[in-house]
């Protein structure tokens, strides 16, 4: 028997079958957390946002399968929660007159650790570029789904994603050098 679709699991959940929630959580927890964690720098806050997003799945009945796939809706909810967190953080930082520290030159550990180079390269991108790369690579969404999530045309997603990927690769090469 093939696994139930996301939409079927959501319908089962709305009918009161809580085991369907567990299956949705297992299906998306790792990818969604990876996406959120790369946007929100704080591990604990990323875990909180992940829980908020899944609480919205439990409580919110706004998802409509006629308008797209559940995964795109879920990542849109996560994206909105992350953007709200970034706004709150910026306001809080401004209230304390904090100035972000400039990126330091990579040390030897960073040169040897590819994951740290990737994190640094992601940090050099603009927020919209980072969002696009994460939705595509971590969220594994299609171009059409990304267009729905961020509210632009599919062709715009492709061109912006191409530029973001180019800049990301260029930065990685610079960090390797």
Looking up residue 175, the CATH number of its domain turns out to be 1.10.10.10
pLDDT at 131: 87
Give me the helices (H) in the chain, please.
Answer: 6-14, 18-39, 43-59, 70-95, 108-112, 114-124, 127-137, 143-150, 154-176
Number of domains in the chain: 2
Same domain, 91 and 73: yes
Looking up residue 20, the CATH number of its domain turns out to be 1.10.1740.10
Kindly report the backbone phi and psi dihedral angles of residue 32, in degrees, each rounded to the nearest multiple of 5, phi listed first: -65, -45
* Residues of the chain with confidence (pLDDT) below 70: 92-114, 177
Same domain, 81 and 107: no
pLDDT at 81: 93
State which residues form the domain around 55. Answer: 1-100
pLDDT at 101: 55
pLDDT at 58: 84
Spatial distance between the Cα atoms of 66 and 75, rounded to a whole number of angstroms: 17
Who contacts 149 (Cβ-Cβ below 8 Å, separation ≥6)?
72, 75, 76, 79, 135, 141
Same domain, 68 and 109: no
Same domain, 109 and 158: yes
Same domain, 1 and 63: yes
Same domain, 34 and 63: yes
pTM for the whole thing?
A: 0.69
Picking from 51, 77, 100, the residue at the C-terminal end of a domain is 100
pLDDT at 45: 93
- CA 12-14-16 angle, to 5 degrees, is 75
Same domain, 85 and 119: no
């Amino acid at each position: 028997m093939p696994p139930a679709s996301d939409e079927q699991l959501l319908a089962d959940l709305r009918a009161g079958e809580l085991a369907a929630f567990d299956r949705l959580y297992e299906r998306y927890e790792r990818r969604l957390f990876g996406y959120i964690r790369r946007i929100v720098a704080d591990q604990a806050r990323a875990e909180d946002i992940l829980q908020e997003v899944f609480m919205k799945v439990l409580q919110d009945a706004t998802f409509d399968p006629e308008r797209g796939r559940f995964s795109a809706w879920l990542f849109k909810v996560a994206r909105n929660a992350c953007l709200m967190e970034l706004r709150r953080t910026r306001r809080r930082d401004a209230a304390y007159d904090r100035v972000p520290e400039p990126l330091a030159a990579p040390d030897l550990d960073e040169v040897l650790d590819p994951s740290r180079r990737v994190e640094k390269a992601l940090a050099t991108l603009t927020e919209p570029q980072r969002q696009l790369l994460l939705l595509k690579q971590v969220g594994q969404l299609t171009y059409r789904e990304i267009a729905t999530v961020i509210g632009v045309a599919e062709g715009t997603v492709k061109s912006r994603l191409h530029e973001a990927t180019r800049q990301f690769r260029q930065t990685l090469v610079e960090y390797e050098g």
